[in-house]
Amino acid sequence: MIPEALAAQLRARRDTLAVVDPEQSLTYADLDGLSGAVAAHLAQRGVAVGDPVIVHTRLSGWAIVAMLGVLRAGARYVPIDAAFPAARRELMAAGSGARVTLTEELLATLRPTRFDWQDGPDAYTLFTSGSTGVPKAVTVSRAALSYSTGARLEYYGRPPERFLLCSSISFDSSVAGIYWTLCTGGTLVIPTDRPFDVRAIVRTGAVHRPTHTLMVPSLYRLMLRSPVPSLTTVIVAGESCPPGLVDLHHDRMPDATLYNEYGPTECTVWSTVHRCAVGEDPVPIGRPIPGTTVSISDGELCISSPGVVSGGPVYRTGDRVSMGDDGLLRYHGRVDEQLKIGGMRIEPAEIEHALMAHPAVLLAGVAVPYRSVAYVVCSEPVEQKALRAHLLDRLPAVAVPTVFERVESLSTLPNGKLDRRALSRSDHVRHDG
């Protein structure tokens, strides 16, 4: 179980660096004493076993201290990233049911304390991305988190020595890095509290030489402009992985292995995984992780797993997939986002991936509802006719956008995923070209 594994590492690795961020470094002894202080504070506030506690911090060492302290008290944490828009934070706080909030200012006043680990039913509550409306709370049990982390250890084998943590604390990919690393005595390396701060990521990578990381494909594509050569294991998740990214990875990071993970929040971080190879199109989401089984019902992926927390034994994902003769699952988009253009059906991601195969296009986004407009982030000026010709070689003519709008950045949801619905009401800065 997660608490036992954490407690063992806190005892055994006292002088080992546990967490480093731009402002501080914490050893396992520091993490032990400070998380004990958090647990003692919560007990004084009358927080009972199973109660929700808001962790309102940036992505930082303080976030890790707070999370472990809440678990130590037998409660469950609700991570609300302080970098999120105020309206989003208010919705999450209101939906959490919590009456106690941990902030960085409060955490900085606590002094190391001994506190015994308490059992509790649940580990944390996250909120889904909200792409279809109001964010939905998903509570993950300690048993499900323990299963998910154990499956990660079984699949990947060698645990992280130093994990480059680039995910918001409110996004479940952060869960993967935090517990995979701390339960095995590694070091969490936090480069920045700002999403998509590639310069900080590269700068931190050069100093701390991380061995593992997990990030959304769009961020990894930007990072590959200045690779971090110490990485041996790179995982992309949270978005559809474009084939061009795999080829770019193998060209610029040939000594690192790239994996594509897939999994809904309701299934505790991940459900399938694939070791990527050059030339795969589309890039598979792979096979089920250890202990998970999958089925396909009318094209929709259904998951059965100890990680399912949706209230039933099987979780219907809303994602369309197929399984090839090779036994690999391939993702074909959301059931509710498929576009019908000129009498044919096509996924927004297919248009985006085709655009990102152009050497000048770093990122691409297509709005839903579709307006025959594609938004592109480019490394250099490129003419619209060149982009159109590029797509006509790859897509049916009816699926090629009529307008290509060059922008400085693309709208994302708080978890870092592309927000296609926001693109439909975009007020991006437009550039010539």
Q: What is the pLDDT of residue 432?
A: 38
CB-based burial, 364-385: b 16+ in 10 Å, e otherwise:
bbbbbebeebbbbbbeeebebe
Contact, 301 vs 328, CB < 8 A?
A: no
More confident residue, 312 or 59: 59
Tens of pLDDT, residues 232-277: 999 999 888 999 999 999 999 999 999 999 999 999 999 999 999 9
User: Which pLDDT does position 433 carry in this prediction?
Assistant: 40
What DSSP state is assigned to residue 156? H
- R_g over Cα of the chain: 22
Average pLDDT over residues 125-143: 79
Tell me the percentage of the chain whose pLDDT exceeds 70. Answer: 94
Cα 414 to Cα 80, 92, 194, 371, 396, distances in angstroms: 10, 12, 11, 24, 33
Question: ω before 306 within 30° of 0 (cis)?
Answer: no
Residue 274 has a pLDDT of 98
Q: 140: pLDDT confidence band, cut at 50, 70 and 90? A: very high
pLDDT tens-digit series, residues 320-375: 999 999 999 999 888 877 676 766 667 788 899 889 999 999 999 988 777 788 99
Q: Between 211 and 408, whose confidence is greater?
A: 211
* Domain boundaries of the chain, sorted by first residue: 2-334, 347-424
Give every CB contact of residue 77 below 8 A, 6+ residues apart in sequence: 52, 53, 54, 55, 66, 67, 70, 71, 123, 124, 125
- For position 232, what pLDDT does the model report? 98
Angle, CA of 98, 104 and 108, to the nearest 5°: 120
Q: pLDDT of 71-100, one tens digit each?
A: 999 999 999 999 887 877 898 999 999 999
- Asked if residue 131 has pLDDT above 70, the reply is no
User: So what's the pLDDT on residue 132?
Assistant: 43
Return the CATH architecture of domain 347-424: 2-Layer Sandwich (3.30)
d(CA 233, CA 210): 10
Q: Please write the tens of the pLDDT for every residue from 1-32.
A: 899 999 999 999 999 999 999 999 999 999 99
Mean of per-residue pLDDT scores for the chain: 91
Q: What average pLDDT does this structure show over 419-427?
A: 69
- On the question of pLDDT at 417 being above 90, the answer is no
Q: Residues 169-206: pLDDT tens digits?
A: 998 999 999 999 999 999 999 999 987 899 999 999 99
Q: Which amino acid is at 257?
A: T
Please report, to the nearest 10 degrees, the dihedral formed by the alpha carbons of residues 185, 191, 194, 195 taken in order: -70
Burial of 341 (0-12, 13-18, 19+ CB in 10 A): middle
Tokens of 420: 């296609």
In terms of CATH architecture, what is 2-334?
3-Layer(aba) Sandwich (3.40)
* Token couple for 301: 């992926």
Which residues are within 8 A (CB) of 295 and not within 5 positions of it... i.e. 6 or more apart? 301, 302, 304, 314
**What pLDDT was estimated at residue 129?**
60
pTM of the model: 0.84
In whole angstroms, give the CA distance from residue 329 to residue 324.
7
